Structure formats: C-alpha cells, structure tokens
Amino acid sequence: MKPTIMKSLRILAGTVFALITMTAHAQQGSCNCNDARDLFTRYCASQSAVSEWNSLISRLRSKEHYDGKVIQALDMKDQVAQCVDEVISIHRQEGPGSRKSGGATDRNCEVTIDAPNACMRGVIAHHESWHKMMCEAHYKPDAPWRTSNNPFTYLPALINRMSQQSIVDYMLEERTGYMLETNYTRDRLEELASQCNDTRVFKPTKSGRSFTIQDCPRPDFANYDRKCSVK
C-alpha cells in the first residue's frame, strides 16, 4: 500500500476509534445476570486476543524488516486469524461461559452476527461496527485509490479492500476491534456487578461494600495443541 494511503487510513482509524469509544454506551445490548458468565469469558478472551495480535504484529513487522518487503494481507490473513481464534477458543474451554459468539463484515460492508442472545449480539455488533466503518471509509467517493489510473490498482481495490492492506495494517484494524470489545464487555460487567451473585465472575472490593470483576484466568497455551504457524 502506498504511504499516503496508509497514512490516511491510520489517521482515519484513530478518529473512528475515538468516536466509537465515546459512543460505547449508546450501543448497549440487553444484558442481565444470566449473561454474566458469557460476558466475562468474552471479556477475558478479548484481552488475550489483543495480546496475541500484539505478538503477531511484532513478529511480522520484524519479518518485513528482515526481508525488505511488505507482506500483503491477503497472503497471510487466514494464518494470523487462526492464531487469534485459537486463543479465544481456549478461553471458552477454561472460562465459566462456553457459548460461542462471532461475527463478520464482508467486502460489501455487510455485517453478520452469530450469537446466542441479545447481550452477546450487542458485544459482537460493537466489535463489527468498527470494521463496518473502516470498510465504508475505504469505499467513500474521495478514497485515495479512486484517483488511480492503473487498473491493477483500481480494480482490486474496488472488488476487495484487503487488496490495499498490508498484513500489519490488517492486524492493527483487528486489534482495535478487540480493544473496543474489551472496553464494551468490561462496561457491561461493571453494570451487572452490583446485581448478580456469581462468584465465578464477580468478587468483593477491598472495602467489602461492593463487587467488581474477577481476575481473568490465565490459560497455559503451551498445554494445548495449537495449529498457529506464524513464527
């Protein structure tokens, strides 16, 4: 991707991140005590996902620097996504909530959500709203790629925005989605802390007068047969 395009997208990303963070409370799902365990597991999994993205970003940035060339997102997207999916799956196995939730934003900026209830749909919708906004920004009338006279630049960008992304740019966008998800799930859990009697999720504060979120479990990922192949 050209430096000017990358710079524009990163500036836009920072702006959108701030907008989504400020409007987080406006996008709440309907959550109650029955949802607390699924929320907690997703909260912990999203934190681990951010850590995994950080590790992957560091490794592939180093590889790009060593090789002297940029890795395209379409060349490694599935590999890096598998690494993060494994981390989330392990948290579901070890956490108190095991129900699976997920979502996707396609190349037409359409969002699909697979979640067991309204609360978890709200979590996934909040995450995917970031990708939807980034997708729509790519296709706006004044997007930099639209000025290209090169059909080998213009047509791939028109068909699939990932053709314009490096793997690092792709991972940075994904990491931001999970950062937003962490904030969102934490806020929902804090709202439930005074209402729900569930010691798997909540614990008394030091004063003993109120409750707060339990510490997240720390799975030993080395004990799992992981397929992540990114070195």
Band (14; pLDDT cuts 50, 70, 90) = low
The DSSP 8-state label assigned to residue 185 in this structure reads: H
Choose among 14, 75, 84, 89: nearest CA to 56: 84
At 141, which helix (H) or strand (E)?
none
Q: Which tops the pLDDT comparison, 207 or 13?
A: 207
Band (23; pLDDT cuts 50, 70, 90) = very low
pLDDT of 7 reads 43
Average the pLDDT over 17-30 and give the result.
50
119: pLDDT strictly greater than 70: yes
Q: Considering the entire predicted model, what is its pTM?
A: 0.83
> Residues 33, 192: contact at Cβ < 8 Å?
yes
pLDDT of 29 reads 65
CA distances 194 to 122, 129, 213, Å, are 21, 29, 10
Helix (H, G, I), strand (E, B) or coil at 149: coil
CA distance 52 to 200: 24
> Residues 46, 178: contact at Cβ < 8 Å?
yes
pLDDT of 155 reads 75
Average the pLDDT over 35-47 and give the result.
97
CA distance 11 to 49: 23
Choose among 17, 161, 167: nearest CA to 83: 167
Average the pLDDT over 135-140 and give the result.
89
Q: Where are the domains of the chain?
A: 3-223
pLDDT of 24 reads 43
Average the pLDDT over 40-54 and give the result.
97
pLDDT of 100 reads 94
Band (143; pLDDT cuts 50, 70, 90) = confident
Q: Among 27-31, 54-58, 176-180, where is mean pLDDT lowest? A: 27-31
113: pLDDT strictly greater than 50: yes
Average the pLDDT over 132-138 and give the result.
92
Average the pLDDT over 148-169 and give the result.
78
Q: How large a percentage of the chain has pLDDT more than 70?
A: 85
* Residue 4: other Cβ atoms inside 10 A: 9
Average the pLDDT over 179-187 and give the result.
97
Phi and psi at 11, nearest 5°, equal -65, -45
CA distances 59 to 39, 54, 66, 71, Å, are 30, 9, 11, 12
